[in-house]
Amino acid sequence: MSDYGGEDEPMDYAMGEENDDNLIDENDLVEQDYDAAGGDNEANGDVDPDELNNIVPSGDISAQEKAAKSLNTVRGVKDKKIANENRSTTPYMTKYERARVLGTRALQISMNAPVLVDVEGETDPLQIAIKELREKKIPLVVRRYLPDGFYEDWTCEELL
């Protein structure tokens, strides 16, 4: 039994659509698009490797090479860290950081991470995380990114 009517009745087609003869084949569409694009550029060998990555080179070439070398390295990331004595952001935890820290720690606790405070019969991971934050025992670091790409690391014990 079907929700859409009788099972023995054929589907309703528009005039001239009784069979699959008049349907457009997907291969025909692909060939038309391929021909309209101008054929195979890779076979002609005129594809620029920078076009494949959508990169437009400009400026100093030596600076580009240096940036490309240190882009995805540990040293490239650590060079952007601001030392603890030179931090400029506020030492107060924002409500967004608090929500992120509590959610992350509650998820860790729910996945059987060790609890760092006395639970006193509490079973809710979020309540345990709130208690850990109140006692400044959460072992997480808040990373604050600055507009220039540098970042500051603050431990939860340092933030008020």
In the chain, the largest separation of any two C-alpha atoms, in whole Å, equals: 80
Distance CA 30, CA 49 (A): 25
The pTM of this model reads 0.56
The helix/strand/coil state of 142 is strand
Residue of 107, 76, 89 whose CA lies nearest to 143: 89
pLDDT of 64: 59
What length does the chain have?
160
Q: Average pLDDT by consecutive 10-residue portion of the chain (160 residues)?
A: 59 58 60 56 52 52 64 76 95 96 96 96 96 96 91 93
pLDDT of 77: 76
pLDDT of 79: 84
pLDDT of 52: 46
